[in-house]
Amino acid sequence: MQLATLLSQKKAAILGRWLTMIYESYPPETAIFLQKEKNRFDNPAGYRISEGLEGLYGALLQEMERDQVLTCLDEIIRIRALQNFAPSQAMAFIFLLKNVIRQELAEEIRKENLAADLLDLESRIDGLALLGFDVFTKRREKIYEIKADEAKRRISGLMRKTGLSEDGLL
C-alpha cells in the first residue's frame, strides 16, 4: 500500500490529532474552547485554523496550485502572526504534522516499508513550512503597512483639501 492511500484512509484521525496539537499550543482553557465550540462565528479561530489545516492536508495528498496552498497557510498564519507567539512558535504547527503521521501510521510504515515515501512526504512538509515563512513575513509586513495607512487616513480629508493625495505626501 502506498503512503498516499494511507494518508487518505486515515485523514480524519491525522487531521484531528494535528488540530488538537495546535490547540494545545494555547492555554488549557482556550484549547478546550477551541476544540469544543463548533459554530464558525462563535469560534472564528478554531474554524479558520481547521479549514486551513484541511486545505494543507489536501495539498499534500494531491496537486494544488501554489496560490491555493498559500491561501490555506494564510488562514492559519494570519491569526498566529498576531497572537502571543514567537515566530518559531507561530510556525511550528506545520512541522507537527510529521509527528502526527509518524505516530498515527508508525505500524503501517514499518510493515509496508514506506520509509522512502515518508521521507518524501516530510520533504514536502518542509516545503510547506518554507512557503509558510513567506506568508508569515507578508503578514508581519501587512501590520506595518496598515499602521502607516491608518496614520495617513487620519488626516486624509485634510490632505485632499490641500490638494495632496496620499501618494503626493510621501
Partner 1 sequence: MAKTPTPAELLPGLSYKPPEKGWMDVKPDFRPGTYCNPASPKWMDWISYPYAQPRSIPDDNWGLPQDWKEIVLQGMEDRLERFRSLKVFFDICVRCGACADKCHFFLGTGDPKNMPVLRAELLRSVYRRYFKTIGRALGEIAGARDLTEDVIKEWFFYLYQCTICRRCSLFCPYGIDMAEMTLLGRELLASVGLNIDWAMASVAQCYDKGSHIGAPPQAFKDMIDFLAEENERITGITTPVSYNRKGAEVLFVMPSGDYFADPGTFTMMGYLLLFEHIGLDYTLSTYAAEGGNFGWFISHEMGKRLNAKIYAEAKRLGVKWILGGECGHMWRVCNQYMSTWWGPVDFLEKPVSPITGTRFENAAVHKMVHISEFTADLIHHGKLNLDPQRNAHIKLTFHDSCNTARGMGILEEPRYIINNVLPEGNFVEMPPNTIREKAFCCGSSSGINANENMELRMQGGFPRANAVRFVADKYGVNHLGCICALDRATLPTLLQYWVPEVEVTGITELVGNALIFPDEMERTTDLRDRDLVGFGEAEEAGEEEE
Applying CB under 8 A, the residues found at the interface with partner 1 are 21, 24-31, 33-34, 37, 39-45, 47-48, 78-79, 82-84, 86, 88-89, 92, 94-96, 98-99, 142-143, 145-147, 149-151, 153-158, 160-161
Toward partner 1, which CB reaches closer, 10 or 17?
17
In the bound complex, what is the minimum distance in angstroms from residue 33's beta carbon to partner 1? 5
Toward partner 1, which CB reaches closer, 63 or 130?
130
Toward partner 1, which CB reaches closer, 51 or 112?
51
Toward partner 1, which CB reaches closer, 63 or 170?
170
Measured CA to CA in angstroms, residue 26 lies from 6, 20, 126 at distances of 30, 10, 23
Cα separation, 9 vs 34, in Å, equals 25
- The b/e string for 96-134 (b: 16+ C-beta within 10 A; e otherwise) is bbeebbeebbeeebeeeebeebeeebeeebeebbebbee
Cα separation, 14 vs 103, in Å, equals 9
In the bound complex, what is the minimum distance in angstroms from residue 125's beta carbon to partner 1? 10
Toward partner 1, which CB reaches closer, 13 or 82?
82
In the bound complex, what is the minimum distance in angstroms from residue 155's beta carbon to partner 1? 7
In the bound complex, what is the minimum distance in angstroms from residue 44's beta carbon to partner 1? 4
Cα separation, 133 vs 70, in Å, equals 10
In the bound complex, what is the minimum distance in angstroms from residue 104's beta carbon to partner 1? 15
Confirm if 95 and 125 have CB atoms less than 8 A apart. yes
